[in-house]
Every structure is written in C-alpha cells, then in structure tokens.
C-alpha cells in the first residue's frame, strides 16, 4: 500500500543528464540507535509516467539508483550494497510505461533519494515531445 506522505516526483533529465530526486525521510536513522542487520520492510517503487517512444537504442538505458545520506540530507551517495535498476531502450518501439521496486538494505542511512542518469544523445521525451514524469513511492509491503 502506498503512503501518500512518502512520495517524490520529477522529470527525467535530457540525454547526458543526471537528476537526484530527494529527500524522502523513511526514519531509518533510529534516533542514534545501532542499525539492524536486516533488510528493511517495504520498498520504493520508481515509475515512469509515460512511455519513451523515441528511446530506441537498445544499447542505452536510463539508470535509476537508490541514494542515501549520512549527514541528514546535505549530500547523497549510492547505497551499500548498490541498489540499481535500468529502463533499457527498445529498438523500433521505444521503452514502454513501467516501474521497478527497490529493496531497502540494512545499511540505509538518513533520508533517501533516487538518482536518474540518462545516456548522452538519448531522446527520453514522451509521444508529444514533453519531459517524462518519474514518481517514487514508498510501498509498505
């Protein structure tokens, strides 16, 4: 089930660009308590709001990485272990609407975000030539 208060959204960057959607505070700091060694309950769902009909180079992929912060959200870095997924280009038809669920590792720190990287020269606009909205939602499952 989605939690309406734990939601981020932003647009895919142009080809060659990077965007970090943040912060989302999942209260994983534990108030100074030691971290558990268990994977966290729930997950983050990263969804493309529209298809990418012109993203047709199968050698390219939009890369989505979970990032966290050890300093309360001042800076973000990739999680350890790395939690990463990709939306590959599809020859002929482009990439369709889709989503990926990101698990939350035990070492997760502070607020979290999602880094999105688009390869240079990629066309990641929707069928009308508009930027594509990406949503990140906490799923309490």
* pLDDT tens digits along 7-65: 999 999 999 999 999 888 877 655 544 455 566 678 889 999 889 999 999 999 999 99
> Burial of 141 by CB count in 10 Å (0-12 exposed, 13-18 middle, 19+ buried)?
exposed
| Domains of the chain, earliest start first | 2-30+37-121+130-139 (2.60.120.1110)
The pTM of the full predicted model, rounded to 2 decimals, is 0.83
**77 pLDDT band (50/70/90 cuts)?**
very high
Q: Give how far Cα 99 sits from Cα of 32, 57, 119, 121, 139, Å.
A: 33, 19, 19, 23, 13
Residue 118: is its pLDDT beyond 90? yes
Q: What angle do CA 13, 19, 20 make, to 5 degrees?
A: 155
């Amino acid at each position: 089930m989605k939690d309406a208060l734990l939601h981020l959204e932003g647009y895919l960057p142009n080809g060659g660009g990077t965007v970090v959607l943040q912060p989302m505070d999942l209260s994983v700091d534990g108030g100074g308590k030691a971290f558990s060694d268990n994977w966290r309950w729930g997950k983050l769902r990263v969804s493309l709001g529209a298809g990418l009909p012109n993203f047709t180079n199968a050698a390219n992929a939009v890369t989505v990485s979970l990032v966290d912060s050890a300093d309360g959200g001042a800076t973000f870095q990739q999680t350890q272990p790395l939690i990463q997924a990709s939306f590959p280009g599809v020859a002929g038809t482009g990439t369709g609407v889709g989503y990926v669920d990101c698990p939350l590792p035990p070492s997760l720190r502070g607020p979290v975000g999602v880094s999105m990287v688009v390869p240079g020269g990629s066309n990641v606009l929707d069928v009308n030539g508009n930027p594509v909205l990406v949503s990140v939602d906490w799923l309490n499952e």
